[in-house]
Amino acid sequence: MVRRVLGACSCFTLLAAPAAALDVQVKDVTAPASRVRVAIELRDVVPERFRRVLDDNGVLYLRLQAELWESRAVWDRLIFPATVRVDRVTHGALPPNPMPASFELGDVGRIVVSGRYYVHIIATLGTLAERDVDQMGDAVFGRESEANGLGSLGRLFFRTALQVGDYLQSVSTEATSGKINGRELLKAKP
């Protein structure tokens, strides 16, 4: 009887485990010519819970952010400002699985031979229901053409708050490359 109960609990645990979700991996960091580049790979870009949005002819937005950091004893230093790319994902244009992507991070002149570096990637998939936000704003504050100054201000705050709320219905993941010596990174230059 105990075995049956444990077996049933194991089955429920496996069934309750989350389905595959967005995943990102750093594949390569190189410095060909005069630019530092990173190659990444995304898996399961559109998790099951977002398929309904695409089936209803909605749009998802995939935001990728890449940063190069110098690893230091006290606190790490950001070498280049974040490189951000946003892609639209629609039912007719589903990304491949796995989905490769690459970024140019910045000029190789910022790399020091004695430094240790790593790349930090953040991937976020979410929705922005702009049409619905506009319709709700019209219902609360009137049409834009009919709104006075205070109504326009209210419309702006309302629209921003709803868009942030919609975008927070998203899935995110992060990845960090291993540490790379500046010497190795610079050696890759032709």
CATH of the domain at 80: 2.60.40.10
Q: Does the residue 162 lie in any domain?
A: no
pLDDT by residue (tens digit) across 102-140? Answer: 999 999 999 999 999 999 999 999 887 554 444 444 544
Q: Does the residue 147 lie in any domain?
A: no
Q: What is the mean pLDDT of the chain?
A: 77
Q: How far is CA 143 from its chain centroid?
A: 34
CA distance linking residue 80 with residue 109, whole number of Å: 11
- Segments forming the whole domain that contains residue 40: 20-126+173-187
Q: Does the residue 10 lie in any domain?
A: no
Q: Does the residue 159 lie in any domain?
A: no
Note whether 127 and 53 are within 8 A (CB): yes
Q: Find the mean pLDDT for residues 84-101.
A: 90
Domains identified in the chain, total number:
1
Q: Does the residue 101 lie in any domain?
A: yes
Q: Does the residue 24 lie in any domain?
A: yes
- Higher-pLDDT residue of 147 and 84 is 84
Residue 11 makes CB contacts below 8 A (sequence gap 6+) with none
Cα distances from 167 to residues 42, 45, 135, 139, 154, in angstroms, run 20, 16, 17, 21, 20
Quickly count: other Cβ atoms within 10 Å of residue 133's Cβ: 19
Exposed/middle/buried for residue 98 (C-beta within 10 Å: 0-12, 13-18, 19+): middle
Q: Does the residue 140 lie in any domain?
A: no
pLDDT at position 169: 73
- Which three-class secondary structure state does DSSP give residue 167? helix
pLDDT by residue (tens digit) across 56-83? Answer: 888 899 999 999 999 999 999 999 989 9
Q: Does the residue 110 lie in any domain?
A: yes
Q: What is the number of H-type helices and E-type strands within the chain?
A: 5, 9
- What's this model's pTM, rounded to 2 decimal places? 0.69
**Looking up tokens 């910022």, which residue turns up?**
110
CA distance linking residue 93 with residue 111, whole number of Å: 38
